[in-house]
Amino acid sequence: MNKLGIEKMDFKSLVPFISNEFKRYFSKNIKALYHYTHLDGALGIISKKTFWASHIKFMNDSKEYSHGLEVCENIVKKLINELPMDNPRRSYLEEVFTILEEQDTDIFVVSFCESGDLLSQWRGYSRSQYGISIGFDYTSLFDISFQLSEQSFFPRKVIYDQKVQERIIRRIIDLALISVEMSSMQPDYAPKEVARTIGYFLPLFKDSTFSEEKEWRIIVTNSKSMSYQHHLNFRSRDNIILPYIEMKMHNKAKENNNKLPINQLIIGPSGTNEFTARSVKYFLKNSGYASVPIKVSKIPYR
């Protein structure tokens, strides 16, 4: 036990410890999560039970990842400057900071939203094509494994409050520094482990101006330091070539016949949404989802 009464933890146990300590920010009592896409995307997800996790640096917001990194770097820099040059905690934090700056991790994201009919989401994800949002039963989503190699992934809530973001980062660093103080030789957490722990949460930090999105994320990482690499694919989108990783879904509840927990589909704003809805209904009927209700967006088409 350390001074806080916490057992010695490695990276894998520190992440759930922080997640549990801040769980009221990472969880919410909701009924559904929605994934916005276009008709081709919906066909692939429902037919193949596969999501495409897109590289975070090529998503709609160019500061998707840099915001959290900037918040973290400001905290670490401030702590470094407050410590004497010969203090071991200073050299420890400097190493953490260097690893964060030079990290070689590629981050891939699948996005969900708490609202199924949001104008900003239609604009961002349907990309002038016929848009559709797929509603998933929130509780049942956790009976689904989004599998890569031997890992499973689940949606996590994005945090928009910068004060909470700073508290999470500071808490990780505080635990790490305590391990430095208590160790006469090797601290419990190597700087690389601390940087990896921080990196686990950074993709969940977004600027407060995006709070309307009420986003949740499934996050997948590729790193040269990992013992394996997830297979990388590429596709064109508008003016870029977008890297992505395929995530196959598997329903652990056998009585569901490996079906996705879809509770409704919403057809996005368009001049033909009623006609589109009829075609989607026919597709669902022939794909084993005949009971899934279909709604048409209430947002006026322009």
Cβ atoms < 10 Å from Cβ of 139: 11
DSSP output for 119-184: HHHIIIIITTS-EEEEEEETTGGGGEEEEETTEEE--EE-B--HHHHHHHHHHHHHHHHHHHHH-S
237 C-beta neighbours (distance < 10 Å), count: 11
Yes or no: say if 108 and 55 are a contact pair by the CB < 8 Å rule: yes
Instruction: For 273-283, write each residue's pLDDT tens digit.
Output: 889 999 999 99
Indicate whether 299 pLDDT > 90: no
Q: Which of the residue ranges 33-47, 156-170, 200-214, 255-269 would you say has the lowest mean pLDDT?
A: 255-269
How many alpha carbons fall within 13 Å on the CB side of residue 164? Answer: 19
* Residue 4 confidence (pLDDT): 45
The pLDDT-based confidence of 5 (bands split at 50, 70, 90) is very low
Q: In a 3-state reduction of DSSP, which class is residue 291?
A: coil
pLDDT of residue 148: 65
pLDDT at 251 over 70: no
- Annotate 70-84 with DSSP letters as a single string: HHHHHHHHHHHHHS-
Percentage of the chain beyond pLDDT 90 is 44
In the predicted model, is pLDDT for residue 61 greater than 70?
A: no
pLDDT tens digit sequence for 62-81: 566 788 889 998 999 999 99
How confident is the model over 127-167, as pLDDT tens digits?
Answer: 667 899 999 999 888 777 676 655 667 888 999 999 999 99
pLDDT number for residue 7: 53
Of 253 and 177, the one with more pLDDT? 177
CA geometry: angle 168, 211, 134, nearest 5 deg = 110
